[in-house]
Structure 1
Amino acid sequence: MKPFSPFTILASAATVLSLFSNTGVQAATGVDVSTLISEKTWACAKDYGYEHAIVRGYIEAWGQNPGGALDKNLVQNYKNAIAAGYETVDIYIFPCTGRDTCKSATQQIQDVLDVIDENSMKIGTLWLDVEVDPQADNWPTASGARSTLQAYKKALDNSGEKWGIYANKVQWTSITGSSTWELDSSVPLWYPHYDNERTFDDFEAFGGWTKPTIKQYAGTSNFCSAGWDKNYYG
Protein backbone atom coordinates (compact mmCIF):
# COMPACT_ATOMS: atom_id res chain seq x y z
CA MET A 1 0.00 0.00 0.00
CA LYS A 2 1.33 3.40 -0.97
CA PRO A 3 1.68 5.98 1.81
CA PHE A 4 -0.65 9.00 1.71
CA SER A 5 0.99 12.13 0.36
CA PRO A 6 0.61 15.41 2.27
CA PHE A 7 -1.60 16.66 -0.55
CA THR A 8 -3.96 13.69 -0.18
CA ILE A 9 -4.23 14.25 3.56
CA LEU A 10 -4.92 17.96 3.10
CA ALA A 11 -7.56 17.28 0.45
CA SER A 12 -9.30 14.76 2.70
CA ALA A 13 -9.26 17.19 5.60
CA ALA A 14 -10.74 19.92 3.41
CA THR A 15 -13.55 17.61 2.35
CA VAL A 16 -14.42 16.82 5.97
CA LEU A 17 -14.26 20.46 7.02
CA SER A 18 -16.53 21.47 4.14
CA LEU A 19 -19.35 19.45 5.71
CA PHE A 20 -19.29 21.59 8.83
CA SER A 21 -21.03 24.89 9.34
CA ASN A 22 -19.44 28.01 10.76
CA THR A 23 -20.55 26.96 14.23
CA GLY A 24 -18.67 23.68 14.03
CA VAL A 25 -21.84 21.58 13.91
CA GLN A 26 -22.10 19.11 11.07
CA ALA A 27 -24.20 20.64 8.31
CA ALA A 28 -26.73 18.51 6.49
CA THR A 29 -26.90 19.38 2.81
CA GLY A 30 -28.96 18.42 -0.19
CA VAL A 31 -29.74 19.21 -3.80
CA ASP A 32 -32.80 20.08 -5.84
CA VAL A 33 -33.29 19.61 -9.59
CA SER A 34 -35.62 20.56 -12.43
CA THR A 35 -34.19 18.16 -15.03
CA LEU A 36 -34.00 14.38 -15.35
CA ILE A 37 -31.13 12.95 -13.29
CA SER A 38 -29.94 9.37 -13.75
CA GLU A 39 -29.53 6.90 -10.89
CA LYS A 40 -25.75 6.99 -11.36
CA THR A 41 -25.70 10.78 -11.16
CA TRP A 42 -27.89 10.82 -8.04
CA ALA A 43 -25.48 8.31 -6.48
CA CYS A 44 -22.57 10.58 -7.35
CA ALA A 45 -24.25 13.52 -5.59
CA LYS A 46 -24.89 11.35 -2.55
CA ASP A 47 -21.22 10.32 -2.52
CA TYR A 48 -20.36 14.02 -2.44
CA GLY A 49 -22.29 14.25 0.83
CA TYR A 50 -25.61 15.68 -0.37
CA GLU A 51 -28.04 13.61 1.68
CA HIS A 52 -31.35 15.24 0.77
CA ALA A 53 -33.12 15.25 -2.60
CA ILE A 54 -35.85 17.54 -3.92
CA VAL A 55 -37.35 17.12 -7.39
CA ARG A 56 -39.76 19.27 -9.38
CA GLY A 57 -43.32 18.00 -9.58
CA TYR A 58 -45.22 20.76 -11.35
CA ILE A 59 -44.26 23.41 -13.92
CA GLU A 60 -45.67 26.94 -14.12
CA ALA A 61 -46.94 28.63 -17.27
CA TRP A 62 -44.45 30.88 -19.08
CA GLY A 63 -44.09 32.75 -22.35
CA GLN A 64 -46.51 31.28 -24.86
CA ASN A 65 -47.04 28.13 -22.82
CA PRO A 66 -50.79 28.22 -22.12
CA GLY A 67 -50.82 26.58 -18.71
CA GLY A 68 -48.91 24.59 -16.15
CA ALA A 69 -48.39 20.85 -16.18
CA LEU A 70 -46.98 17.95 -14.25
CA ASP A 71 -43.24 17.56 -14.67
CA LYS A 72 -42.82 14.59 -17.00
CA ASN A 73 -39.61 13.64 -15.17
CA LEU A 74 -41.18 13.52 -11.70
CA VAL A 75 -41.66 9.77 -11.40
CA GLN A 76 -38.35 8.77 -12.97
CA ASN A 77 -36.40 11.32 -10.95
CA TYR A 78 -38.01 9.97 -7.78
CA LYS A 79 -37.25 6.35 -8.72
CA ASN A 80 -33.66 7.15 -9.65
CA ALA A 81 -33.03 9.03 -6.40
CA ILE A 82 -34.48 6.21 -4.30
CA ALA A 83 -32.47 3.62 -6.23
CA ALA A 84 -29.35 5.71 -5.59
CA GLY A 85 -29.88 5.44 -1.84
CA TYR A 86 -31.96 8.47 -0.87
CA GLU A 87 -34.41 7.35 1.81
CA THR A 88 -36.99 10.06 1.12
CA VAL A 89 -37.49 12.57 -1.65
CA ASP A 90 -39.26 15.93 -1.45
CA ILE A 91 -41.25 17.47 -4.31
CA TYR A 92 -41.46 21.14 -5.16
CA ILE A 93 -44.47 22.52 -6.97
CA PHE A 94 -44.04 25.61 -9.14
CA PRO A 95 -47.74 26.44 -9.46
CA CYS A 96 -49.48 27.77 -12.52
CA THR A 97 -50.92 31.14 -11.47
CA GLY A 98 -51.96 34.42 -13.03
CA ARG A 99 -53.64 32.95 -16.13
CA ASP A 100 -57.16 31.85 -16.93
CA THR A 101 -55.71 28.74 -18.57
CA CYS A 102 -54.27 27.49 -15.27
CA LYS A 103 -56.10 24.72 -13.46
CA SER A 104 -57.45 25.50 -10.01
CA ALA A 105 -55.13 25.25 -7.03
CA THR A 106 -57.07 22.21 -5.85
CA GLN A 107 -56.70 20.43 -9.18
CA GLN A 108 -52.98 21.17 -9.52
CA ILE A 109 -52.28 19.75 -6.09
CA GLN A 110 -54.55 16.79 -6.79
CA ASP A 111 -52.68 16.06 -10.04
CA VAL A 112 -49.45 15.77 -8.05
CA LEU A 113 -51.11 13.67 -5.34
CA ASP A 114 -52.49 11.28 -7.98
CA VAL A 115 -48.98 10.67 -9.31
CA ILE A 116 -47.70 10.08 -5.78
CA ASP A 117 -50.49 7.60 -5.07
CA GLU A 118 -50.30 5.77 -8.41
CA ASN A 119 -46.57 5.22 -8.02
CA SER A 120 -46.55 4.48 -4.25
CA MET A 121 -44.13 7.33 -3.67
CA LYS A 122 -43.01 8.12 -0.12
CA ILE A 123 -42.60 11.88 -0.04
CA GLY A 124 -40.96 13.86 2.73
CA THR A 125 -42.42 17.31 2.07
CA LEU A 126 -44.37 19.04 -0.70
CA TRP A 127 -42.92 22.51 -1.24
CA LEU A 128 -45.02 25.29 -2.79
CA ASP A 129 -42.66 27.49 -4.81
CA VAL A 130 -43.69 31.12 -4.33
CA GLU A 131 -41.56 33.29 -6.61
CA VAL A 132 -41.98 35.72 -9.48
CA ASP A 133 -41.37 34.47 -13.01
CA PRO A 134 -41.15 37.55 -15.29
CA GLN A 135 -41.90 35.38 -18.34
CA ALA A 136 -45.13 34.17 -16.79
CA ASP A 137 -46.43 37.30 -15.02
CA ASN A 138 -47.56 34.72 -12.50
CA TRP A 139 -48.47 37.03 -9.61
CA PRO A 140 -50.00 40.14 -11.26
CA THR A 141 -51.65 41.63 -8.13
CA ALA A 142 -51.05 41.38 -4.40
CA SER A 143 -54.73 40.93 -3.56
CA GLY A 144 -55.08 38.19 -6.14
CA ALA A 145 -51.89 36.54 -4.89
CA ARG A 146 -53.15 36.38 -1.31
CA SER A 147 -56.40 34.77 -2.39
CA THR A 148 -54.56 32.29 -4.63
CA LEU A 149 -52.09 31.36 -1.91
CA GLN A 150 -54.94 30.72 0.51
CA ALA A 151 -56.46 28.36 -2.06
CA TYR A 152 -53.18 26.43 -2.28
CA LYS A 153 -52.94 26.33 1.51
CA LYS A 154 -56.42 24.79 1.71
CA ALA A 155 -55.55 22.19 -0.93
CA LEU A 156 -52.26 21.32 0.75
CA ASP A 157 -53.85 21.16 4.20
CA ASN A 158 -56.30 18.63 2.79
CA SER A 159 -53.61 16.63 0.98
CA GLY A 160 -52.55 14.49 3.92
CA GLU A 161 -48.92 15.32 3.07
CA LYS A 162 -46.48 17.46 5.00
CA TRP A 163 -46.01 20.73 3.13
CA GLY A 164 -43.98 23.91 3.26
CA ILE A 165 -43.23 27.14 1.42
CA TYR A 166 -40.27 28.08 -0.78
CA ALA A 167 -39.81 31.88 -0.75
CA ASN A 168 -37.63 34.69 0.52
CA LYS A 169 -38.46 38.08 1.99
CA VAL A 170 -38.01 40.05 -1.23
CA GLN A 171 -40.20 37.73 -3.30
CA TRP A 172 -42.83 37.40 -0.58
CA THR A 173 -43.11 41.18 -0.23
CA SER A 174 -43.32 41.68 -3.99
CA ILE A 175 -45.98 39.00 -4.43
CA THR A 176 -48.22 39.59 -1.40
CA GLY A 177 -47.63 43.32 -0.99
CA SER A 178 -46.26 43.00 2.54
CA SER A 179 -43.33 41.31 4.24
CA THR A 180 -45.53 40.67 7.27
CA TRP A 181 -48.55 39.12 5.53
CA GLU A 182 -48.91 35.61 6.92
CA LEU A 183 -50.20 32.55 5.11
CA ASP A 184 -49.18 29.84 7.59
CA SER A 185 -45.94 30.26 9.52
CA SER A 186 -46.47 26.90 11.22
CA VAL A 187 -45.28 25.09 8.08
CA PRO A 188 -41.57 24.78 7.27
CA LEU A 189 -39.81 27.43 5.19
CA TRP A 190 -37.21 26.87 2.47
CA TYR A 191 -35.62 30.14 1.39
CA PRO A 192 -33.14 31.03 -1.37
CA HIS A 193 -30.10 33.24 -0.85
CA TYR A 194 -27.16 32.53 -3.11
CA ASP A 195 -24.26 33.54 -0.89
CA ASN A 196 -22.64 30.08 -0.97
CA GLU A 197 -22.73 30.00 2.84
CA ARG A 198 -24.06 27.01 4.77
CA THR A 199 -25.57 29.03 7.59
CA PHE A 200 -28.89 30.65 8.51
CA ASP A 201 -27.17 33.79 9.83
CA ASP A 202 -28.37 35.76 6.80
CA PHE A 203 -32.07 34.93 7.29
CA GLU A 204 -34.52 37.84 7.52
CA ALA A 205 -37.89 37.12 9.11
CA PHE A 206 -41.02 37.54 6.99
CA GLY A 207 -44.52 36.15 6.66
CA GLY A 208 -44.53 35.10 10.30
CA TRP A 209 -41.49 32.85 9.91
CA THR A 210 -38.73 33.54 12.40
CA LYS A 211 -36.71 30.42 11.68
CA PRO A 212 -36.14 28.58 8.38
CA THR A 213 -35.84 24.85 7.76
CA ILE A 214 -33.78 24.87 4.56
CA LYS A 215 -31.64 27.43 2.77
CA GLN A 216 -30.92 27.21 -0.96
CA TYR A 217 -27.42 28.64 -0.75
CA ALA A 218 -26.24 28.16 -4.34
CA GLY A 219 -27.99 28.21 -7.70
CA THR A 220 -27.13 25.96 -10.62
CA SER A 221 -23.87 24.26 -9.67
CA ASN A 222 -22.26 21.78 -12.03
CA PHE A 223 -20.82 18.56 -10.65
CA CYS A 224 -21.35 14.87 -11.31
CA SER A 225 -22.11 15.85 -14.94
CA ALA A 226 -25.33 17.64 -13.96
CA GLY A 227 -26.64 21.00 -12.78
CA TRP A 228 -27.97 21.24 -9.22
CA ASP A 229 -29.15 23.80 -6.70
CA LYS A 230 -27.50 23.30 -3.31
CA ASN A 231 -29.37 23.35 0.00
CA TYR A 232 -28.39 23.63 3.66
CA TYR A 233 -30.48 21.99 6.39
CA GLY A 234 -28.70 23.23 9.50
Structure 2
Amino acid sequence: MKFIFTALAIVTIIVSMTNRAFARLGIDVSALTSETTFKCTKNLGYELVIIRGYREAYGRNPGGGIDPNFITNYNNAKKAGYTKIDVYMFPCTGRSTCKTPQQQVNEMVQLISTNRVIVQRVWLDIEVNPSSGNWNFGQARKRQILREFYTAWKSTRWNFGIYSNQYQWQTITGDKNWVLDSSLPLWYSIYDKNPVLNNFKPFGGWTQGTGKQYDGNALLCGARLDKNVFR
Protein backbone atom coordinates (compact mmCIF):
# COMPACT_ATOMS: atom_id res chain seq x y z
CA MET A 1 0.00 0.00 0.00
CA LYS A 2 1.38 3.41 -0.93
CA PHE A 3 0.79 6.59 1.03
CA ILE A 4 1.05 9.89 -0.77
CA PHE A 5 1.36 13.01 1.38
CA THR A 6 1.00 16.49 0.00
CA ALA A 7 3.37 19.22 1.18
CA LEU A 8 0.51 20.81 3.12
CA ALA A 9 -0.30 17.55 4.87
CA ILE A 10 3.33 17.05 5.87
CA VAL A 11 3.59 20.59 7.24
CA THR A 12 0.34 20.13 9.17
CA ILE A 13 1.63 16.93 10.76
CA ILE A 14 4.96 18.54 11.69
CA VAL A 15 3.26 21.58 13.23
CA SER A 16 0.87 19.39 15.21
CA MET A 17 3.73 17.22 16.52
CA THR A 18 5.79 20.32 17.36
CA ASN A 19 2.92 21.91 19.28
CA ARG A 20 2.50 18.79 21.38
CA ALA A 21 6.23 18.17 21.84
CA PHE A 22 6.93 21.60 23.29
CA ALA A 23 3.65 22.06 25.16
CA ARG A 24 3.32 22.01 28.94
CA LEU A 25 0.12 20.91 30.58
CA GLY A 26 -1.19 22.94 33.50
CA ILE A 27 -4.12 23.28 35.85
CA ASP A 28 -5.67 26.34 37.46
CA VAL A 29 -7.59 26.31 40.74
CA SER A 30 -9.55 28.63 42.98
CA ALA A 31 -11.28 26.23 45.38
CA LEU A 32 -9.35 24.75 48.29
CA THR A 33 -7.28 21.94 46.75
CA SER A 34 -5.56 19.18 48.68
CA GLU A 35 -1.95 18.08 48.47
CA THR A 36 -3.24 14.67 47.34
CA THR A 37 -5.00 16.21 44.34
CA PHE A 38 -1.92 18.21 43.40
CA LYS A 39 0.25 15.06 43.63
CA CYS A 40 -2.21 13.18 41.46
CA THR A 41 -2.26 15.85 38.75
CA LYS A 42 1.52 16.09 38.79
CA ASN A 43 1.81 12.33 38.34
CA LEU A 44 -0.50 12.63 35.34
CA GLY A 45 1.95 14.99 33.67
CA TYR A 46 0.66 18.44 34.61
CA GLU A 47 3.71 20.64 35.10
CA LEU A 48 2.23 24.05 35.88
CA VAL A 49 -0.25 25.25 38.53
CA ILE A 50 -2.01 28.60 38.37
CA ILE A 51 -3.68 29.56 41.65
CA ARG A 52 -6.18 32.35 42.22
CA GLY A 53 -4.60 34.88 44.54
CA TYR A 54 -7.12 37.70 44.38
CA ARG A 55 -10.90 37.74 43.95
CA GLU A 56 -13.76 40.16 43.41
CA ALA A 57 -15.09 39.75 46.96
CA TYR A 58 -18.40 41.54 46.60
CA GLY A 59 -19.98 39.86 49.63
CA ARG A 60 -18.91 40.48 53.19
CA ASN A 61 -15.60 41.89 52.03
CA PRO A 62 -16.56 44.32 49.26
CA GLY A 63 -14.00 45.97 47.07
CA GLY A 64 -11.78 43.02 46.19
CA GLY A 65 -9.59 40.93 48.47
CA ILE A 66 -6.96 38.25 48.82
CA ASP A 67 -8.27 34.77 48.10
CA PRO A 68 -8.34 32.99 51.48
CA ASN A 69 -7.43 29.68 49.79
CA PHE A 70 -4.31 31.00 48.10
CA ILE A 71 -1.62 30.35 50.70
CA THR A 72 -2.92 26.87 51.55
CA ASN A 73 -3.21 25.97 47.86
CA TYR A 74 0.28 27.31 47.20
CA ASN A 75 1.78 25.32 50.08
CA ASN A 76 -0.08 22.15 49.03
CA ALA A 77 1.19 22.52 45.45
CA LYS A 78 4.75 22.99 46.69
CA LYS A 79 4.52 19.95 48.96
CA ALA A 80 3.19 17.95 46.02
CA GLY A 81 6.37 18.75 44.11
CA TYR A 82 5.28 21.57 41.82
CA THR A 83 8.05 24.05 41.05
CA LYS A 84 6.25 25.98 38.30
CA ILE A 85 3.52 28.02 39.95
CA ASP A 86 1.70 31.10 38.64
CA VAL A 87 -0.98 33.20 40.29
CA TYR A 88 -4.02 34.89 38.78
CA MET A 89 -5.97 37.92 39.84
CA PHE A 90 -9.72 38.19 39.30
CA PRO A 91 -10.09 41.91 40.06
CA CYS A 92 -12.99 43.83 41.51
CA THR A 93 -14.43 46.03 38.74
CA GLY A 94 -17.70 47.75 38.00
CA ARG A 95 -18.89 48.74 41.47
CA SER A 96 -18.45 51.85 43.56
CA THR A 97 -17.20 49.66 46.43
CA CYS A 98 -14.23 48.39 44.41
CA LYS A 99 -10.81 49.48 45.58
CA THR A 100 -8.72 51.26 42.99
CA PRO A 101 -6.68 49.08 40.62
CA GLN A 102 -3.51 50.32 42.33
CA GLN A 103 -4.83 49.33 45.78
CA GLN A 104 -5.80 45.87 44.56
CA VAL A 105 -2.41 45.30 42.93
CA ASN A 106 -0.64 46.56 46.06
CA GLU A 107 -2.55 44.05 48.20
CA MET A 108 -1.54 41.18 45.98
CA VAL A 109 2.06 42.30 45.80
CA GLN A 110 2.18 42.51 49.60
CA LEU A 111 0.65 39.03 49.92
CA ILE A 112 3.29 37.47 47.72
CA SER A 113 6.20 39.49 49.05
CA THR A 114 5.52 38.85 52.75
CA ASN A 115 4.69 35.13 52.58
CA ARG A 116 7.82 33.81 50.85
CA VAL A 117 5.74 32.96 47.82
CA ILE A 118 7.64 32.40 44.58
CA VAL A 119 5.61 32.62 41.39
CA GLN A 120 6.72 32.77 37.77
CA ARG A 121 3.99 35.03 36.48
CA VAL A 122 0.87 36.95 37.49
CA TRP A 123 -2.17 36.73 35.21
CA LEU A 124 -4.79 39.48 35.14
CA ASP A 125 -8.16 37.81 34.51
CA ILE A 126 -10.26 39.94 32.16
CA GLU A 127 -13.73 38.44 31.83
CA VAL A 128 -17.35 39.21 32.63
CA ASN A 129 -18.97 37.54 35.63
CA PRO A 130 -22.76 37.87 35.12
CA SER A 131 -23.54 36.86 38.70
CA SER A 132 -21.53 39.74 40.18
CA GLY A 133 -22.22 42.43 37.59
CA ASN A 134 -18.58 43.31 37.13
CA TRP A 135 -17.40 45.68 34.40
CA ASN A 136 -20.68 47.55 34.83
CA PHE A 137 -19.50 50.82 33.28
CA GLY A 138 -19.46 52.56 29.92
CA GLN A 139 -16.84 51.51 27.39
CA ALA A 140 -14.55 54.49 28.01
CA ARG A 141 -14.47 53.80 31.75
CA LYS A 142 -13.83 50.09 31.20
CA ARG A 143 -10.85 50.87 29.03
CA GLN A 144 -9.56 53.32 31.60
CA ILE A 145 -9.80 50.68 34.35
CA LEU A 146 -7.88 48.24 32.18
CA ARG A 147 -5.17 50.84 31.62
CA GLU A 148 -4.96 51.49 35.37
CA PHE A 149 -4.51 47.79 36.15
CA TYR A 150 -1.92 47.57 33.37
CA THR A 151 0.00 50.58 34.70
CA ALA A 152 -0.12 49.25 38.26
CA TRP A 153 1.27 45.84 37.28
CA LYS A 154 3.80 47.36 34.89
CA SER A 155 5.19 49.48 37.73
CA THR A 156 5.96 46.35 39.78
CA ARG A 157 8.30 45.08 37.05
CA TRP A 158 6.95 41.60 37.69
CA ASN A 159 6.23 39.17 34.89
CA PHE A 160 2.53 39.46 34.13
CA GLY A 161 0.11 38.59 31.38
CA ILE A 162 -3.54 38.71 30.41
CA TYR A 163 -6.22 36.02 30.59
CA SER A 164 -9.17 36.56 28.25
CA ASN A 165 -10.64 35.59 24.89
CA GLN A 166 -12.06 37.39 21.90
CA TYR A 167 -15.65 37.40 23.16
CA GLN A 168 -14.74 38.71 26.61
CA TRP A 169 -12.39 41.35 25.20
CA GLN A 170 -14.97 42.67 22.79
CA THR A 171 -17.72 42.62 25.44
CA ILE A 172 -15.62 44.62 27.89
CA THR A 173 -13.74 47.03 25.63
CA GLY A 174 -16.38 47.37 22.92
CA ASP A 175 -13.92 46.47 20.17
CA LYS A 176 -12.12 43.16 19.72
CA ASN A 177 -9.26 45.02 18.04
CA TRP A 178 -8.70 47.51 20.87
CA VAL A 179 -5.09 47.16 22.01
CA LEU A 180 -3.84 47.42 25.59
CA ASP A 181 -0.39 45.85 25.10
CA SER A 182 -0.16 42.95 22.68
CA SER A 183 3.44 42.28 23.72
CA LEU A 184 2.15 40.76 26.97
CA PRO A 185 1.78 36.98 27.21
CA LEU A 186 -1.80 35.91 26.57
CA TRP A 187 -3.64 33.01 28.18
CA TYR A 188 -6.86 32.46 26.24
CA SER A 189 -9.85 30.19 26.74
CA ILE A 190 -11.52 27.90 24.20
CA TYR A 191 -13.22 24.87 25.67
CA ASP A 192 -12.58 22.41 22.86
CA LYS A 193 -11.01 19.83 25.23
CA ASN A 194 -7.98 19.69 22.96
CA PRO A 195 -4.59 20.28 24.67
CA VAL A 196 -3.10 22.02 21.65
CA LEU A 197 -2.57 25.75 21.13
CA ASN A 198 -5.00 26.07 18.26
CA ASN A 199 -8.35 27.61 17.30
CA PHE A 200 -7.11 31.03 18.38
CA LYS A 201 -9.35 33.96 17.44
CA PRO A 202 -7.27 37.16 17.23
CA PHE A 203 -8.10 40.13 19.43
CA GLY A 204 -6.43 43.02 21.21
CA GLY A 205 -3.49 42.92 18.81
CA TRP A 206 -2.60 39.33 19.74
CA THR A 207 -2.14 36.91 16.86
CA GLN A 208 -1.38 33.91 19.05
CA GLY A 209 -1.50 32.87 22.67
CA THR A 210 1.07 31.70 25.18
CA GLY A 211 -1.43 29.40 26.86
CA LYS A 212 -4.89 27.97 26.31
CA GLN A 213 -7.51 26.93 28.83
CA TYR A 214 -9.07 24.05 26.96
CA ASP A 215 -11.37 22.43 29.53
CA GLY A 216 -13.24 24.21 32.32
CA ASN A 217 -14.54 22.83 35.60
CA ALA A 218 -13.24 19.38 34.73
CA LEU A 219 -13.31 16.53 37.24
CA LEU A 220 -9.71 15.42 37.76
CA CYS A 221 -8.07 13.65 40.68
CA GLY A 222 -11.18 14.06 42.81
CA ALA A 223 -11.45 17.82 42.33
CA ARG A 224 -13.02 20.35 39.98
CA LEU A 225 -10.41 22.41 38.14
CA ASP A 226 -9.50 23.84 34.75
CA LYS A 227 -7.11 22.22 32.29
CA ASN A 228 -4.58 24.22 30.29
CA VAL A 229 -1.73 23.91 27.83
CA PHE A 230 1.19 26.35 27.54
CA ARG A 231 4.15 26.88 25.27
Same fold at TM > 0.5: yes
1:200: how far off?
Answer: 2.3
Other-structure match for 2:64 = 68
Please tell me whether the aligned partners of residues 197 and 230 of structure 2 are also in contact (alpha carbons under 8 angstroms). Answer: no
Other-structure match for 1:160 = 157
Other-structure match for 2:218 = 221
Residues 142-174 of structure 1: CA distance to partner in whole angstroms, max 9, x if unpaired?
111100000000110012310000000011001
Matched, 1:50 2:46: yes
Other-structure match for 1:171 = 168
Matches within 5 A, 1:28-39: 28-39=24-35
Unaligned runs of 5+ in 1: 1-20
Q: Secondary structure at the match of 1:41?
A: helix
Cα 1:63–1:73, aligned 2, differ >3 Å: closer, same or farther?
A: closer
Residues 105-143 of structure 1: CA distance to partner in whole angstroms, max 9, x if unpaired?
011011111110111111111000000011222112211
Matches within 5 A, 1:1-234: 22-23=16-17, 25-26=20-21, 27-62=23-58, 66-140=62-136, 141-234=138-231
TM-score for the superposition, normalised by structure 2: 0.88
Say how many residue pairs are matched.
214
Cα 1:63–1:39, aligned 2, differ >3 Å: closer, same or farther?
A: closer
Distance in 1 between residues matched to 2:61 and 2:16, nearest whole Å: 43
Distance in 2 between residues matched to 1:82 and 1:160, nearest whole Å: 24
Unaligned runs of 5+ in 2: 1-14
1:63: how far off?
Answer: 7.1
AA in 2 matched with 1:202: N
Please tell me whether the aligned partners of residues 51 and 70 of structure 2 are also in contact (alpha carbons under 8 angstroms). Answer: yes
Over the matched positions of the two proteins, sequence identity in percent amounts to 45
Deviates more, 1:153-162 or 1:133-142: 133-142
Please tell me whether the aligned partners of residues 82 and 88 of structure 1 are also in contact (alpha carbons under 8 angstroms). Answer: no
Moved over 6 A (4+): none
TM-score for the superposition, normalised by structure 1: 0.87
Q: Secondary structure at the match of 1:102?
A: coil
